[in-house]
Amino acid sequence: MAPATPKTPAKKTSPAPAVKKVAAKAAAKAPAKAPAKAPAKVPAKAPAKAPAKAPAKAPAKAPAKAPAKAPAKAPAKAPAKAPAKAPAKAPAKAPAKAPAAPKAQAGFAYDDATLKALWPELHRGDAEPWPKSAAVVEAWRLFHAGDFKAAMAAGLKAGGDGLTVANKAQAIQANYLEKNEKAKLDAFLAVAARAEAQQASQPNNPNAHYLEAYALGRYSQGISIAEALVQGLGVKIKSALERAIALQPKHADAHVALGAFHAEVIDKVGRLLARGQGADLRTGLQMLDTALKLNPKSAITLMECANGYVMLEGDKRMPEAEKLYASAAALTPRDAMERLDVEMAKAELED
């Protein structure tokens, strides 16, 4: 049920099934080498010679050979491989959690002219038009630089179209950077309520509907999909996404989010019960396919589609899902949010 721009589905886009299975294979191979060599050489020689010679010679030879070989081989092989992988994984996941990651100094502090030139690519996913207000432009500048809290404040102060950037900034801050689970869920509910209120004054704004769905989708992942369906959130999410697509057929993020909704509901409750929520396999696949065509160079779109394909059709889509994750990890981010998505893809591949 997760709208696009990673967990969750997708936290947290939710951890990717595709990558986890690849990771399981990698993990099965890695430990096989380290333990095999260390125990084989040390005990084999030390006990064999110590009892063979009387106590007079045992102390002379045992200490000479046992310490000489054990330290020489054990540290040489174990540290050589273990540290090589540990540091590679830790930094890969840090950007998805550490607030310091997406800051302006990372190279995304665009001036207005540069931001306007990059706008079509930066907003290919949400189809947001170039702002008419200088105050809203400034809020978006802060958003793309990675100062999401400041972007939210600036958007709220600007009002009107500024609510869109405020809602997106708070949602991204909560999804990627907020560590406190309750604060994260509260933030999603705040975004959903504000986006729903925005629809009253801007009923034809597709992102007012999309961001309500996005926030409710991430909230649903936080409390469990089953509980969210009981609360009736599935109907609200599906309706909001369909409205966003009706208003803007090229809204790639809404397409991938709706595809993820169908995939998650089917995955969690099964195809039969999913029908009661309006979720079906054919529509889910269609939404994901369309999203890929509309925004093929978006890391979050690639990852959410990978997750969705596997949830909908199982292992037969695994090779394709792995390629989509690899493509996401290879992208060059154009702003702070994209960098978070790319880093998340790298981290999933390395797990």
The mean pLDDT value for 63-82 works out to 40
Among 74, 96, 118, the domain-final residue is 96
Would you state the pLDDT for residue 111? 95
Residue 94 has pLDDT above 90, yes or no: no
Residue 314 has pLDDT above 80, yes or no: yes
pTM of the model: 0.72
- Whether 132 and 73 map to the same domain: the answer is no
Contacts of 245 (CB under 8 A, 6+ apart): 206, 251, 254, 255, 258
Whole-angstrom Cα distance, residue 192 to residue 189? 5
- Whether 109 and 89 map to the same domain: the answer is no
313 within a domain of the structure (yes/no) = yes
Would you state the pLDDT for residue 106? 61
- Whether 195 and 311 map to the same domain: the answer is yes
- Whether 200 and 76 map to the same domain: the answer is no
| Dihedral of alpha carbons 303, 308, 311, 316, sign | negative
pLDDT level of residue 351 (50, 70, 90 thresholds): confident
Contact 290, 117 (CB under 8 A): no
What pLDDT digit, counting tens, does each position of 216-246 carry?
A: 999 999 999 999 999 999 999 999 999 999 9
- Whether 109 and 65 map to the same domain: the answer is no
109 within a domain of the structure (yes/no) = yes
CATH (domain of 285): 1.25.40.10
Whole-angstrom Cα distance, residue 73 to residue 82? 14
What pLDDT digit, counting tens, does each position of 126-181 carry?
A: 999 999 999 999 999 999 999 999 999 999 999 999 999 999 999 999 999 999 99
Q: Closest Cα partner for 190 from 227, 161, 219, 165?
A: 219
12 within a domain of the structure (yes/no) = no
Q: Which two tokens stand for residue 119?
A: 């706008």
The mean pLDDT value for 322-344 works out to 97
- Whether 67 and 203 map to the same domain: the answer is no
What pLDDT digit, counting tens, does each position of 248-279 carry?
A: 999 999 999 999 999 999 999 999 999 999 99
What pLDDT digit, counting tens, does each position of 75-88 carry?
A: 344 334 433 443 33
Three-class secondary structure of residue 99 per DSSP: coil
- Whether 268 and 148 map to the same domain: the answer is yes
Q: Which two tokens stand for residue 187?
A: 């933030």
Angle in degrees, CA 12, 15, 20, rounded to 5: 155
Q: Assign residue 279 a region: left if phi > 0, alpha if psi is -120 to 50, beta otherwise? A: beta
Contact 348, 96 (CB under 8 A): no
Would you state the pLDDT for residue 76? 40
pLDDT level of residue 107 (50, 70, 90 thresholds): confident
Angle in degrees, CA 108, 331, 107, rounded to 5: 15
Whole-angstrom Cα distance, residue 310 to residue 281? 11
- Whether 262 and 311 map to the same domain: the answer is yes
Structural domains of the chain, count:
2
Contact 259, 288 (CB under 8 A): yes
Q: Which residue has the higher pLDDT, 49 or 144?
A: 144
Q: Closest Cα partner for 222 from 6, 11, 4?
A: 11
Residue 112 has pLDDT above 80, yes or no: yes
Would you state the pLDDT for residue 141? 97
Least confident of 68-82, 169-183, 327-341: 68-82
- Whether 123 and 204 map to the same domain: the answer is yes
Q: Closest Cα partner for 327 from 351, 301, 291?
A: 301
Whole-angstrom Cα distance, residue 258 to residue 284? 7
pLDDT level of residue 110 (50, 70, 90 thresholds): very high
Q: Closest Cα partner for 209 from 257, 258, 244, 239?
A: 244
Average pLDDT, the chain: 79
| Structural domain harbouring 145 | 100-350
Contacts of 224 (CB under 8 A, 6+ apart): none
Residue 92 has pLDDT above 80, yes or no: no
